[in-house]
Chains A and B, each alone.
Chain A
Amino acid sequence: MVLAVGLSAAILLSSYSIRPICVENMGSQLMANGSGVILVSAILTALYLGTDYSNGTIRNRLAVGRTRVEIYFANLITTALSGVILLAAAWISTGAVGLYLGGKPGMPTGELALDAAVSICAMIAFCAIFTVIGMLLSSKSAIVTITLVSTFVLMTVGSLILSRLSQPEFRSSIVFDENGNTMIGGEVPNPLYVSGIQRDILTAVNDVLPSGQLVQMEMGEPHNEELMPLYSLGVLAVSTAVGTLVFRRKDLK
């Protein structure tokens, strides 16, 4: 919690020191903390679930008749709640610092509420993925490693896809005259621009992936924002179904 609050306040202060005008749009600033909070949540979730295996305390629950589905859902709810609380703590700290610096919301309340809903749902989807990893691996070190690597991979994939999708279709060419001076020429097709079905697929992947959603929120250019909470709920449903199915038959020590 302290880490999430400190990290969020530090992000805002660092943005403010470079560009003081940033506090004029606090709404965007609030959404810029997603990746940092996800990372903190990944570490906490991995340590929490890993401790249950390393201390053997998961045995205490099974041996007294708790079912595996109950245990799975109890852990999912705990991790999702802790993720949402971390996110809320990050928002509160950013908002408090922003207000202290004379910040303003900078966007309509409805838009801010939708952004918040997207972030919360993306956080829950991330926590569902962390829970699958934490429940299906039995070693604390493996859980921490795989959770962190998965988070980095997902965030990197989200950023890379957004970067490719953000490429302009055309770009200005640079030409040299006879004297070697550079001149701006006409518009030429951008080879990095993704088009056709490939663009549709990348757009869909980035809309569905919680990391893609958070990166879009951070960049302030979310696509299909209204559908994003539904996509996150889809990720939650699929990961939980896979997690419970495998965990139900998993041999524990």
Chain B
Amino acid sequence: MENVLTTNGLVKKYRKFTALDGLTMNVPKGAIYGFVGRNGAGKTTLIRLICGLQFATSGSFTLYGMDSGSGDISKARRRMGAVVETPSIYLDMTAEDNLKEQYRVLGLPSFKGIDDLLKLVGLENTGKKKARNFSLGMRQRLGIAIALCGDPDFLLLDEPINGLDPQGIIEIRELILKLNRERSITVLISSHILEELSKLATHYGFIDKGRIVKEISAEQLEKECRKCARVSVSDTKKLAIVLDAEGMEYAVIDERAADIYGAISITRLTELLKNAGCELFSVNEHDESLEAYFINLVGGGE
């Protein structure tokens, strides 16, 4: 599969702190690539390097086959749009004027297409309202519209749903899906809100301490996410003693609930719990969440 972005052992150091430690990843064309990691894992640093805001200490990346060290990387960036951290907008301008400004930056000959862009991101009725008075969701959508001005094939979104209300999150999600499906735009989304990412991503890259821990497609991830049984009992301490004795893997959720991994015999479990003086209330089949998968991958503790 053709890759839009490939990084090769990228290292970025800020004095003694290493933000990226030999990061290697591949973003396939047409994908919605979920870039998952804790705060401070190096997600934004990577996006800054790709956008040319900062320079790698060592290593390189290729964007549409053009090496980061070559002079042509600027040409490759013309096929890209990005929203890094907060939306980069002129607060004293209207949505339309912000887009016009970006058209000028791009050197586009006319303002044709601005109305369509405003419509696409749902800001067509903002009129003379200044961006300063926009909600966070509207600003985020304006930021995405600005990133779309050059009709890019690749969109980089850094934590696009941070701070948004549920309605705002849905709007951004719908917009990203629309861009990917209708315009075939490859999207790289960095986020630590895994549940939301799982509704969008076709591929994942898990980053921890500046390194990619695992790259996986959503399809593979679904297969790899372990099935488990969520049990509800009267006392999880007694349940734990029983499961330890049986050598089973489990995770206690609270005093009355736990996830048990692997195949279990409900009859045997019921019998063992009865002997231990623990009541079993319910058993539900449960898929391991993306969150649990991530925690297993990078380890829970800091």
Contact = CB atoms under 8 A, between A and B. Distances in A.
B261 interface: no
A118 B149 CA distance: 43
A102 B295 CA distance: 83
Contact of A66 (B54, B74, B156): B74
B103 to A, nearest CB: 11
Interface residues of A, number: 18
B250 interface: no
Interface of A: 51, 55-67, 249, 251-253
A63 B54 contact: no
Interface of B: 48, 51-55, 74-78, 80-82, 84-91, 101-102, 105-106, 146-147, 149-150, 156
B151 to A, nearest CB: 11
A55 B150 contact: no
Nearest to A51: B90
A63 B91 contact: no
B51 to A, nearest CB: 4
A106 B279 CA distance: 107
Contacts of B48: 251-253
A59 B78 contact: no
A55 B86 CA distance: 9
B88 A60 contact: yes
B77 A64 contact: yes
Contact of B106 (A55, A57, A64): A64
Contact of B54 (A56, A60, A252): A252
Given A56-B85, A64-B78, A251-B55, 5 more contacts: A59-B53, A62-B53, A63-B84, A249-B55, A253-B85
B77 A65 contact: yes
A66 B81 CA distance: 12
A67 B51 CA distance: 11
Nearest to B91: A55
Rank and list the top 4 A-B pairs by shortest CB-CB distance, nearest first. A65-B77, A56-B88, A65-B78, A63-B82
A194 to B, nearest CB: 46
Nearest to A59: B88
Contact of B84 (A51, A55, A59, A65): A59
B85 A63 contact: no
Given A64-B81, A64-B150, A65-B74, A59 B51 contact: yes
A136 to B, nearest CB: 15
23 contacts: A51-B90, A56-B85, A56-B89, A57-B89, A57-B90, A59-B51, A60-B147, A62-B52, A63-B53, A63-B80, A63-B81, A63-B82, A63-B84, A63-B147, A64-B77, A64-B150, A65-B77, A65-B80, A67-B74, A251-B53, A251-B55, A252-B54, A253-B53
Contacts of B82: 59, 63
A63 B52 contact: yes
B105 A60 contact: yes
Contacts of B53: 59, 62-63, 251-253
A57 B75 CA distance: 20
A249 B53 CA distance: 9
Nearest to A66: B105
B45 to A, nearest CB: 10
A224 B124 CA distance: 60
Nearest to A58: B88
A56 B55 contact: no
Contact of B51 (A55, A62, A249): A62
